[in-house]
Chains A and B, each alone.
Chain A
């Protein structure tokens, strides 16, 4: 087919094309702006809603501010922070936090849930990744709930420009400039830095002021990445994590234990441990929709994790997770949920004064059998 059709251009064609470009930009803008609207969550009875800026004014009235939900049990005990949504393209992270938020009944101690830690990264997709904008879950009553599938990094409309080199303020560690927008390279944060760094500082203030005993930062990683189906623990968290890993092993849920590297800075498992009194734990599940080997990237891949390239890679022994045709999101949420529940149990076992008892949250078996959507509250309830 030949493309040598020589239309003559003139002022009228220029004007028509500019109008066309404006229309496409308008339609595109409407699509992009739908991601600015926060996801709806329906907290379980007993949760109080706060904003993170209550612990650090420096993020007040900025897009970095994010909801913090707190529920206290009748009996006193420890305090646990469950943080999801550091990287919104790792959906089992935020959704596990949402599950606790919508189901938890705290009997002893306090549970603090931050479902959307980097709210600024939920408002866009990463360029060139072809990710879906949102994923949905059917509920037993026939309705459905939607959640955004965002980006790893803070939206550049909120934080710009990225430097050529990002220098981690506390350590002097040099990273690619784009990492300045990565919340999990910003810890322990600075009170006067860019928004992502201030957000990390606000999280540190929350941990210190609320005297949080155990803090989770939930993640997902590519199945070909070695640190997956794993818990990364600071030296002080290691004993507890080892106990949990043994318990999970007994349940048929293998959990790799990774010591937090002392020379990899800016991550929760290192900085929360060094700069606060909490026991930090970062956990990873395997998410084919963010891996480099994946094919078509759509909602189905996010929900099922089914991908023929990953199936082939698994047969070749190239993956770090057991992968038999799929890796459903229900299973990944189930892994995180069961691990958090086991950590809570073991925390009380190690020190009864720090006990946190949470009921009403389904375990791995129930989640894989009935699905995540079965445990979400219908909108309007």
Chain B
């Protein structure tokens, strides 16, 4: 249980880092790459997939 909470916290942390990178990025396609990375992170943080 504690392991799962730590894991989810790490996932949320990485997710926020990606969001931060997307706002700082000047190239659209790199922002789009970040958006693709977000999808599995969202699903994992919510423990849906």
The answer to whether A9 and B38 touch across the interface, beta carbons within 8 angstroms, is no
Q: Give Cα A9 to B25, complex, Å.
A: 7
The answer to whether B32 and A32 touch across the interface, beta carbons within 8 angstroms, is no
Q: Give Cα A9 to B26, complex, Å.
A: 5
The answer to whether A25 and B31 touch across the interface, beta carbons within 8 angstroms, is no
* Interface members, chain A 65-122 (any B CB < 8 Å): none
Q: Which of A8, A9, A18, A124 contacts B19 (CB 8 A)?
A: A18
The answer to whether A21 and B39 touch across the interface, beta carbons within 8 angstroms, is yes
Nearest chain B CB to A100's CB is how many angstroms away?
33
Q: Give Cα A374 to B3, complex, Å.
A: 47
B residues within 8 A CB of A21? 35-36, 38-39, 42
Give the total of B residues in contact with A, Cβ under 8 Å. Answer: 25
Q: Mark B17-40, 1 if CB is under 8 A from A, else 0.
A: 001001101111111101110110
- Chain A interface, DSSP helix/strand/loop, else mixed: helix
Q: Does A225 contact B (CB under 8 A)?
A: no
Q: Does A263 contact B (CB under 8 A)?
A: no
Known A32-B48, A161-B7: A18·B22 in contact at CB below 8 Å: yes
Nearest chain B CB to A282's CB is how many angstroms away?
30
The answer to whether A7 and B28 touch across the interface, beta carbons within 8 angstroms, is yes
The answer to whether B48 and A13 touch across the interface, beta carbons within 8 angstroms, is no
Known A8-B26, A18-B22, A21-B38: A28·B49 in contact at CB below 8 Å: yes
Interface size class of A (residues with CB under 8 A): 20 to 34
Q: Does B14 contact A (CB under 8 A)?
A: no
Q: Does A37 contact B (CB under 8 A)?
A: no
The answer to whether B34 and A33 touch across the interface, beta carbons within 8 angstroms, is no
B residues within 8 A CB of A17? 22, 31-32, 34-35
B residues within 8 A CB of A24? 39
Q: Does B9 contact A (CB under 8 A)?
A: no
A residues within 8 A CB of B36? 21
* Interface members, chain A 8-34 (any B CB < 8 Å): 8-11, 13-14, 17-18, 20-22, 24-25, 28-29, 32-33
The answer to whether B28 and A25 touch across the interface, beta carbons within 8 angstroms, is no
Q: Give Cα A29 to B32, complex, Å.
A: 20
Instruction: Using CB atoms, name the residue of chain A closest to B42.
Output: A25
Please name 17 further chain A to chain B contacts, defined as beta carbons within 8 Å, in addition to the given A9-B31, A21-B39, sorted by A numbering.
A9-B28, A10-B26, A14-B23, A14-B31, A17-B32, A17-B34, A21-B35, A22-B42, A24-B39, A25-B38, A28-B39, A28-B43, A32-B49, A157-B47, A160-B3, A160-B7, A161-B3
Q: 18 A-B residue contacts at CB 8 Å?
A: A6-B27, A7-B27, A7-B28, A7-B29, A13-B28, A14-B23, A14-B25, A14-B31, A17-B34, A21-B35, A24-B39, A25-B42, A29-B43, A29-B48, A32-B43, A33-B48, A160-B3, A160-B4
